[in-house]
Structure 1
Amino acid sequence: MESRKIQFTGKSSYIVSLPKDWVESQGIKKNDSVIIIPHRNGTLMLMPKAGKKRIETREIDVDIIEDNETLLFRILISAYINGYSNIILKSKKEISPMVRNCAIKFAQSAIGPEIIDEDDATITIKDLLDPCEMPFDKTIKRMYTLTKAMHESAMSAIRNNDKETAKKTIEMDTDVDRLHWFVSRQFNILLKNMEFSEKMGLTQNEGVYYFLISRLIERIADHAVKIARASLFVMDEGISADMAGIMSSQSETALKIFGKSFDAWTKKDINLANKNIDSIEKLISGCETINKEILKKNYKSATYMSDIVESIRRTGEYSADMSEITINYHLVGNKI
């Protein structure tokens, strides 16, 4: 960091010189134009050219990974989330079927990446989607809709002793994951690329809150999966209609908190957010009552039933966390 003095010339012009190293590195010549963009936080962004797209490439040596497909997939997701536009898988030998299958699985799982080139020793994956085409709020709204449907589906499976519905609920989690990966990718690009921040109309600070909301919704979806998986074991042992009804009642309470927390976020309503935070105590009390009833009746599948109740409670608690984020986010720069 360095400071430079402002000079005044003529009747209304303020001038500051540009660092020589930066000018030369950007290839700026005499009489070239630069783009100046003011930000809401008081900073100015200086760009040498308009429309210059940054392309970041990450090369991965698959020989080091050996035959660990799970590790390779996680590395690909990590490269994607970190904002790399091109991912190149390289081998000193021939690309193995495992690596090729993992690359295909990754391209099918994430939003945007496609395999654009391949030979015996390399596979090139390129992100073809402009992240500006999917605003944060629309992606998060889709995540909310899917997650709510997952939770409702899992509880429906318990009430109706429907294993197929439970299995379909588990499969839906893939869609929520890929949307969360995309939000994470956008967030990391936002941190590194001020031009992207300007195009999205968001500051980096605002991006943090969108990422946190996305993360909480993804965790709520994970608990819908836990409910569905536990329900498969509960169905084998059997569950009374009364117990299924009591669980469903608490599930509805948790989903109400979830829905109102999402409404508070979208409507910037900190009063609604505050009420949601206070309402979580009723859910926790209800879940504790169910757990006591499970132990009293000595169900064979008591452990799995308790897991379901725990996930219902966690759904409500994560929803309350969303309301806390809403208050934190909308407090900055807004009058109360």
Structure 2
Amino acid sequence: MEIRKVQVTGGSSYIVSLPKEWVKTSGIRKNDPVGLITQPDGTLLVTPKITPEVAQREKRFEVSAATDQTFIFRCLIGAYIAGYTTITLFARARLPPQIRIQVRQFTQMAIGQEVVDETETSITIKDLLSPAEMPFQNTIKRMGVLVRGMHRDGVEALTSGNRRLAEDVLTRDNDVDRLHWLVARQTNLVLADPNLSRKMGVSPSMVMSYFLISRIIERIGDHATRVAKNAILLLDDGATGTVTGMVREASATSQTLFDQALRSLFSQDLEAANETLKRLPDLESQARAINEEAMQFDAATATAVVALSDSIRRTGEYSGDICETVINHLIDEGA
């Protein structure tokens, strides 16, 4: 850290000189404007970025017929989440067909990504979505609606014997994943650009809380998928007996916890978050009762029932994690 003395000029203006190396690296010239942003902790941020546009960054990947398809797909997702605005895949010879397939799958899943240029040897993908157009709260709310519907329909499929409804739940998991990727991408963009943080009206600490909660909701979505998968197994077995009603009641408890957790987040209500945490033991008792009831079935059926019960319990526990994240954030913000 460099230490520089504050000087007074004109009797009322306080000035401090800028580090020469930083000025050169930033490309600042005489009379160029710089932005001054007061941070929540009292520090002052000096930035050459005074416009709200996201900095343009490009990532290039060289591919060939030997390139692993799963690996390149993961690289595309990684570049997207990292905040690159342009992604280019190129080959020394003709671009392999399997790479074009991975690009199509990527642009279908990643929000705002479109192919803007394509030749025999390269494909260029560009981000067409402004981060400010998708506020964090809206994305989290959408994720909550999707996950809640998945869990509800997975349990409903079991209680009503509707196998097609359970299969439909499995197809919705990608929608949750793509929204989580968007939150992760915007988190990186906001943390790298204080101007964007101001434009979106969120503090860096709130952004991190949204990211953590998005990750938790994505995991709840995974458990909703497990509920649906185990519902299909139990429907095929056809021997659930009295456990179905117990599953319905435990599911209702976990869904109530999830709803209350999200309400405490959006209302920034510390006490409501704490009250939700107090209700977790009720769900744990219901889950234990289901596991005990499962012992009357054969091994395969019992395993599916216990796995389903575990996913319902984990949904409630993850809801508790959301509440703890809300409490931690509010305490940090001085609530």
Q: TM-score range by the shorter chain?
A: over 0.9
- 2:77 counterpart of 1:89: no
> How many pairs were matched up?
334
3-state SS of the aligned residue for 2:79? helix
**Could you list the runs of 5+ residues in structure 1 that have no partner in the other structure?**
none
3-state SS of the aligned residue for 1:223? helix
- 2:55 counterpart of 1:54: yes
Query: How far did 1:34 drift?
Result: 2.1
3-state SS of the aligned residue for 2:60? strand
Query: How far did 1:49 drift?
Result: 4.9
CA separation of 1:259 and 1:325: change in aligned 2, threshold 3 A: same
3-state SS of the aligned residue for 2:5? coil
Aligned to 1:170: 170
Aligned to 1:106: 106
3-state SS of the aligned residue for 1:301? helix
Q: Contact 1:5–1:16 at 8 Å: present in 2 too?
A: yes
Query: How far did 1:23 drift?
Result: 2.1
Query: How far did 1:299 drift?
Result: 6.3
Q: Deviations over 1:193-223 (max 9, x none)?
A: 2222222222222211110110111100110
Q: Deviations over 1:219-271 (max 9, x none)?
A: 00110000111111111111445321110100000001111111111111111
3-state SS of the aligned residue for 1:296? coil
Q: Contact 2:50–2:195 at 8 Å: present in 1 too?
A: no
- Higher mean alpha-carbon deviation, 40-49 vs 279-288, is at 40-49
Q: Deviations over 1:77-126 (max 9, x none)?
A: 11111111111111112111100010011001010110111111111111
TM-score by length of 1: 0.95
One-letter identity of the residue aligned with 1:158: L
3-state SS of the aligned residue for 2:172? helix
One-letter identity of the residue aligned with 1:174: N
**Could you list the runs of 5+ residues in structure 2 that have no partner in the other structure?**
none
Q: How does 1:59-78 map to 2 (within 5 A)?
A: 59-63=60-64, 66-78=66-78
- 2:16 counterpart of 1:3: no
Aligned to 1:134: 134
- 2:29 counterpart of 1:20: no
Q: Contact 1:270–1:330 at 8 Å: present in 2 too?
A: yes
| Distance in structure 2 (CA, Å) of the matches to 1:167 and 1:68 | 29
- Higher mean alpha-carbon deviation, 37-46 vs 140-149, is at 37-46
CA separation of 1:169 and 1:204: change in aligned 2, threshold 3 A: same
- 2:118 counterpart of 1:118: yes
Aligned to 2:188: 188
Q: Contact 1:234–1:304 at 8 Å: present in 2 too?
A: yes
Q: Deviations over 1:144-203 (max 9, x none)?
A: 011101100101100111111011111111111100000000111122222222222222
Q: Contact 2:246–2:286 at 8 Å: present in 1 too?
A: no
3-state SS of the aligned residue for 2:279? helix
Structure 1 residue runs of 4 or more that deviate by more than 3 Å after TM superposition: 297-300
One-letter identity of the residue aligned with 2:121: A
One-letter identity of the residue aligned with 2:3: S
Aligned to 1:334: 334
CA separation of 1:20 and 1:161: change in aligned 2, threshold 3 A: same
Aligned to 1:44: 44
CA separation of 1:204 and 1:128: change in aligned 2, threshold 3 A: same
- Give the fraction of aligned pairs with identical amino acids, expressed as a percent: 40
Query: How far did 1:18 drift?
Result: 1.2
Query: How far did 1:48 drift?
Result: 2.8
- Higher mean alpha-carbon deviation, 124-133 vs 297-306, is at 297-306
CA separation of 1:239 and 1:67: change in aligned 2, threshold 3 A: farther
Query: How far did 1:15 drift?
Result: 0.2
Query: How far did 1:67 drift?
Result: 4.5
CA separation of 1:68 and 1:27: change in aligned 2, threshold 3 A: closer
Query: How far did 1:308 drift?
Result: 0.6
3-state SS of the aligned residue for 1:181? helix
Q: Contact 1:33–1:49 at 8 Å: present in 2 too?
A: no
| Distance in structure 2 (CA, Å) of the matches to 1:160 and 1:265 | 33
CA separation of 1:229 and 1:90: change in aligned 2, threshold 3 A: same
Q: Contact 1:67–1:98 at 8 Å: present in 2 too?
A: no
Q: Deviations over 1:33-57 (max 9, x none)?
A: 2222222222223233532541111
Task: Give the CA RMSD over aligned residues.
Answer: 1.6
One-letter identity of the residue aligned with 1:54: A
Q: Contact 2:112–2:128 at 8 Å: present in 1 too?
A: yes
One-letter identity of the residue aligned with 2:59: R
| Distance in structure 2 (CA, Å) of the matches to 1:71 and 1:248 | 40
- 2:240 counterpart of 1:218: no
Query: How far did 1:300 drift?
Result: 4.6
Q: Contact 2:234–2:240 at 8 Å: present in 1 too?
A: no
One-letter identity of the residue aligned with 2:235: M
Aligned to 2:149: 149
3-state SS of the aligned residue for 2:40? coil
One-letter identity of the residue aligned with 1:55: Q
| Distance in structure 2 (CA, Å) of the matches to 1:173 and 1:194 | 32
